[in-house]
Amino acid sequence: MSHQFPPHVVLCDVSPRDGLQNECKPISTTDKISLVQDLIDAGMPRIEVTSFVSPKAIPQMADAQEVMQGLTRRSGAELVVLVPNQKGAERALACQPDELNLVMSVTESHSKANLRMTPQESFERLQEVVVTTRDRVRLNVSLSCSFGCPFEGDVPAEQVLHWVRAFSELGVTGVSLCDTTGMAFPSQVRELVGRVQKLSQKSRITLHFHNSRGLGLTNVFEGLRAGVTHYDACTGGIGGCPYAPGASGNACMEDIVHAMHCEGIETGIDLDRLLKVSKDLGNLLEHPLSGQVVYAGPRSKTYALDQAKSQ
Amino acid sequence: MSHQFPPHVVLCDVSPRDGLQNECKPISTTDKISLVQDLIDAGMPRIEVTSFVSPKAIPQMADAQEVMQGLTRRSGAELVVLVPNQKGAERALACQPDELNLVMSVTESHSKANLRMTPQESFERLQEVVVTTRDRVRLNVSLSCSFGCPFEGDVPAEQVLHWVRAFSELGVTGVSLCDTTGMAFPSQVRELVGRVQKLSQKSRITLHFHNSRGLGLTNVFEGLRAGVTHYDACTGGIGGCPYAPGASGNACMEDIVHAMHCEGIETGIDLDRLLKVSKDLGNLLEHPLSGQVVYAGPRSKTYALDQAKSQ
C-alpha cells in the first residue's frame, strides 16, 4: 500500500538540543545524559545531543562536553552536535561526535535577531569551520527559516538555494531545511525539496519541521512523497518558538514514528520504549507535552468491551 | 502549485454536536446558539447543529429543538442535524434542517457498546427513517469506525463498503467515512476512499477524522489528493473519545482552514473570525483546546524585529 513512500527513514531526535534549549527550567547534566541514553536504547538512529555554543548565550547548553562524555555509545546511534563557530567546533571535536551540524539563517532579520550577524557574516564564520574540520568529521548545515521568516514572511526559494549551493561547493552535502517557526505547508515543501534535489543530487536532505500551525506531520508526509528519508523531530514535540507562546514545538517524534509504522515504513525505533521516554520527559519538564500517541496509545491498542461500559 | 488538490472544499463544523456531546460541562442553549451563529457569521458552509437523540441518552443535546429554532439562518450555511431513529427524525424535520445525518457503526462491538444493537439492527432502524423522509429532506449516513474499531482493531474495507452499498441502494448517496477514534492513516484513507469512489460514483463522500494520534490534518490532505471535497471538523479540535483520556478530539477546523488557505484552496471561511470563535469556545469550555493556529496565528503573521529583541 505504501509503494510511494521510502521503505525506511532515518529519524534524528533533536529534543536534547533544539527541545531543551527552549525550556526555561534548567535540566541537570545527569537528566540530559539519561534522556539521550534512553533515546539510544529505544533505537533512535540519530540524536542531536547538544550544542557547543557560548554558555553565556545559552546556559542550558553549558554542559555540552559533560553530556557527550557521559554517554555510553552504541553503533547504529549517530551522535550529532551543533556548532556555531570555530571555537565550538574545536570543543565539539574533542568529544568525537559522528557529525557536526552547522547552523545559519537564510534571512537577514532572523539572522540578526538570533545570531547578531548577517547571513553572509554567518556563512563566512561557518566556512572557516568547514575548511578546518571537513577532513576530520562529517558535516551538515541547517538552514533556518527555509520555509518562511517570522519577520520577513515568505522566503523566496532562490534565497535558500543560494546557501545550499554555497555549502555544497565547500563539500558540505548534508543540508537541513529548517521550518524554524512552523510556516511550511505541503505544496511549498514539495517545491523547495524538488529544487534542492535538482540542484545537488548528491545532497542528503533532512527536513526539520515545527508543528506551530499543526502541519508538522503533514509536511513529513509530503517529504516522504518527494523521497526524503531524513527527518528531525523532538520526543514529546518539545521545543518551540519564542514568538508564539502556547504554540507547539518541533514535530513530535513518537507521533511520526507511529505514523511511519502504520505505513509499514521502517524506523528501527521501538515505539513502546519511545513512548516511555516521552512520558519520562513530560515528568522531567513538568508541563504537558504536545504529542498525541502518548495519550491515545498506538492504533493497534484495542479495548475490552467491558471497558467501554464503564466509560 | 496546488494543481493536484481540489480548488474548493466544503467544510462542516461538527463542534456544536460531536464536539459538545463530549463535554462534561453542561452548555446553555444560549451559548450553543451563539456558537452556531458565530460559525455561520464566519462563513462556515455547513454546520452539524445538534442531535435529536433521546435527552436521557445524551443530556447535552436535550435542547436540540430550541437551538435549531433560535438560529437566524443564512443562505450558504447549511444546517445538518443528527438523527438516530424515526422519532428523532420527526422531531428534527419540524425544525426544517437542510439535511439529516443518520449514524451507525460498522462493527458489532462498537455498535453494541454505543447504540446497544448490532449494525444490522441499526441499519433496519435507519432504513425506516430513510423510507419515510427521503422525499422530504436530503440524507447522509455517517459510518462510525470506518478506519478501525477500538475493540476489534482493523476493519476490513469490505465491511464498510457493504453499508455504503446498502444505503446507496436506498437512495442515500451522501456518506461520511468516520474515523471515530482516530485510527486512520494516509495509505488506508487512499485505499478506502478509492474503493468507495469506485463503488458509487454518485456518492458524495465526507471524511470525518479525529486527531487522537496526530494524523487528522495529514489524513485530510490524503483525502484532497483523492479528490474528496467534503470534510467534518471541530473548531478548537474539541470532541474526543472516552477511551483515550487526554487525547485530542476531532480534527481541528481552524488548522484545516489555515492549511487550505496556504494551499490556495477556497473554503469561503473568514479565518480571523473563526479564530475568534475558537478563542470564545475555549473560554466557554474552560479548558485548553487542541488547535495550533489559534496560538501561533496564521503563517502570514509577521513580527517586528524589536519584538524579537524583547523575547
Mutation site for B-interface testing, chosen from A263, A275, A292, A293 by largest number of B Cβ within 10 Å: A292
Phi, psi values for residue A192, rounded to 5°: -70, -45
Q: Which chain B residue has the Cα nearest residue A182?
A: B299
Q: Are strands B10-13 and B46-51 parallel, antiparallel or unpaired?
A: parallel
Contacts A153 to B, Cβ<8 Å: 300, 302
CA A80 – CA A51 distance, rounded (Å): 9
Task: Check A214 against B212: CB less than 8 A apart.
Answer: no
Q: Smallest Cα–Cα separation from A219: which of A173, A243, A252?
A: A252
Q: Above 90 in pLDDT, residue B184?
A: yes
CA angle B250, A187, B265 (to 5 degrees): 60
Spatial CB neighbours of A45, under 8 Å, sequence gap ≥ 6:
A10, A11, A12, A76, A77, A78, A267, A268, A269
Per-residue pLDDT of A94-114, as tens digits, reads: 999 999 999 999 999 999 999
Facing A218 at nearest CB: one of B5, B113, B217: B217
- Percentage of chain B with pLDDT > 70? 95
Our measurement of the distance from residue B40's CA atom to the centroid of its chain's CA atoms, rounded to an integer in Å, reads 16
Residue in chain B nearest A3 by alpha carbon: B187
**CB–CB contacts below 8 A, A to B:** 175
H-assigned helices in chain A: 29-41, 64-69, 86-93, 108-115, 119-133, 157-169, 186-199, 216-225, 253-262, 271-285, 293-296, 305-309
Closest CB from A214, A262, A305 relative to B151: A305
- Residue A259 contacts residue A39 (beta carbons within 8 Å): no
Share of chain B above pLDDT 90, in %: 88
pLDDT at B4: 85
The three three-digit cell numbers of residue A168, written as one number:
555544497
Query: Which site among B109, B209, B211, B215 would you substitute to test the A interface, given the most A Cβ atoms closer than 10 Å to its Cβ?
Result: B215
Query: Looking at residue A4, what is its pLDDT?
Result: 85
B115 close to B83: Cβ distance less than 8 angstroms: no
Partners of A252 in the beta sheet?
A234
Reported confidence tier of residue B309, pLDDT bands at 50, 70, 90: very low
Cβ–Cβ below 8 Å for A187 and B148: no
Phi, psi dihedral angles at A131 (to 5 degrees): -60, -35
Q: Do A213 and B302 touch (CB under 8 A)?
A: no
Asked if A72 contacts A36 with a C-beta cutoff of 8 angstroms, the reply is no
Distance from the B152 Cα atom to the nearest Cα atom in chain A, whole angstroms: 7
Give the contacts of B206 (CB within 8 A, at least 6 positions apart). Answer: B12, B140, B142, B174, B175, B176, B177, B228, B230, B231, B232
Residue B100: partners with Cβ closer than 8 Å, 6 or more residues away: B80, B81, B82, B83, B89, B92, B93, B129, B133, B137, B138, B139, B140
The segments of chain A whose pLDDT lies below 50 read 1-2, 309-311
- Interface confidence (ipTM) of the complex: 0.96
Report the catalytic residues of B: 241
Q: Nearest C-alpha of chain A: how many angstroms from B245?
A: 7
User: pLDDT class for B304, splitting at 50, 70, 90?
Assistant: confident
Residues of A in contact with B182 (CB under 8 A): 292, 296, 299
Closest-CA residue of chain A to B192? A1
Is there a contact between B174 and B140 (Cβ–Cβ < 8 Å)? Answer: yes
Mean pLDDT score across all residues of chain B:
94
Q: What local confidence, expressed as pLDDT, does residue A1 receive?
A: 41
Tell me the C-alpha distance between A208 and A104, whole Å.
14
Chain B residues in contact with A248 by the CB 8 A cut-off are: 292, 295-296
Q: Are A173 and A197 in contact (CB under 8 A)?
A: no
Q: Considering only CA atoms, which of A279, A308, A311 is closest in space to residue A295?
A: A279
Q: Assign residue A203 a region: left if phi > 0, alpha if psi is -120 to 50, beta otherwise? A: beta
Q: Is the pLDDT assigned to residue B125 strictly greater than 80?
A: yes
Report the distance separating Cα B194 and Cα B177, nearest Å: 12
Q: Cα torsion at B289, B291, B293, B296 (round to 10°)?
A: 60
By CA distance, what is B292's nearest residue in A?
A213
Q: Residue B242: list chain A partners with CB under 8 A.
A: 311
Is the pLDDT at B247 greater than 80, yes or no? no
Across the interface, which of B112, B243, B258 has its CB nearest the CB of A311? B243
C-alpha–C-alpha distance, residues A157 and A134, integer Å: 27
Which residues have CB under 8 Å from A96's CB, separation 6+?
A68
- Asked if B211's CB is within 8 angstroms of A187's CB, the reply is no
Nearest of A258, A241, A204, A253 to residue A47 by alpha carbon: A253
Verify whether the Cβ–Cβ distance A308 to B186 is below 8 Å: no
Inter-chain residue contact A153 with B302, CB threshold 8 Å: yes
In CATH, the number for domain B10-309 is 3.20.20.70
| CA B235 distance to own-chain centroid | 10
User: Dihedral through CA A230, CA A236, CA A239, CA A243, nearest 10?
Assistant: 110
| pLDDT for B230 | 98
Supply the pLDDT for residue A277. Answer: 98
Q: Which of B22, B151, B185 to mutate to test the interface with A (most CBs of A within 10 A)?
A: B185
pLDDT of residue B245: 64
Contacting residues for B211 by C-beta, under 8 A, at least 6 apart: A292, B182, B217, B237, B248, B249, B250, B251, B252, B290
Nearest beta carbon to residue A185 from set B259, B295, B309 = B259
CB contact under 8 A, B245 and A185: no
The partner residue sitting opposite B296, judged by closest CB among A217, A247, A259, is A247
Show the CA angle centred on residue B229, arms to residues B227 and B235, nearest 5°: 135
**If you measure CA to CA, which chain B residue comes closest to A108?**
B305
Residue-wise burial string across A292-305, b where 16 or more C-beta atoms lie within 10 A, e elsewhere: bbbbbbbbeebbee
Using CA atoms, how far apart are residues A167 and A118, in angstroms rounded to an integer? 16
Please tell me which residue in A95, A145, A234, A241 is annotated as part of the active site: A241
Neighbours of B153 (CB within 10 A): 14
Kindly state the cell numbers that stand for B166.
Answer: 446498502
CA A294/CA A7 separation, integer angstroms: 24
Residues whose CB is less than 8 angstroms from the CB of residue B54 and which lie 6 or more positions away in sequence, other chains included: B84, B88
Which residues does chain A have within 8 Å of residue B302's beta carbon, measured at their own beta carbons?
A: 149-153
Interface touch A292/B113, C-beta < 8 Å: no
Closest chain B CA to residue A214 = B292
CA angle A129, A180, A44 (to 5 degrees): 75
Are A219 and A174 in contact by the 8 Å Cβ rule? The answer is: no
Examine the pLDDT at B87 and tell me if it is beyond 70. yes
In DSSP terms, A46 is beta-bridged to A12, A78
pLDDT digits (tens, 9 = 90+) for A232-272: 999 999 997 666 666 789 999 999 999 999 999 999 999 99
**Percent composition of chain A: helix, strand, coil (DSSP 3-state, to 5):** 45, 15, 40
Residue pointed to by grid coordinates 499543526: A214
Picking from B188, B191, B308, the nearest residue to A151 by CB comes out as B308
Give the DSSP H/E element, type plus range, for residue B111.
helix B108-115
Beta bridge partners of B10: B230
Distance CA B260, CA B263 (A): 5
**Cβ <8 Å between B217 and A217:** yes
| B304:A186 CB<8 A | no
DSSP state of A251: P
Task: Name the residue of chain A whose CA is nearest to B299's CA.
Answer: A183
Give the residue from chain A lying closest to B298, CA to CA.
A213
Per-residue pLDDT tens for B133-161? Answer: 999 999 999 999 999 999 999 999 999 99
Residues of A in Cβ contact (< 8 Å) with B218: 217-218, 221, 259
- One-letter amino acid of B74: R
> Cβ–Cβ of A303/B247 closer than 8 Å?
no
Whether the predicted pLDDT of B129 surpasses 60:
yes
pLDDT, position B227? 97
**Segment holding B189, helix H or strand E:** helix B186-199
**List of chain B residues whose C-beta atoms are within 8 Å of the C-beta of residue A7:** none
B244 contact residues in A (CB cutoff 8 A): 295-297
What does the alpha-carbon distance between residue B197 and residue A144 come to, in Å, rounded to a whole number? 42
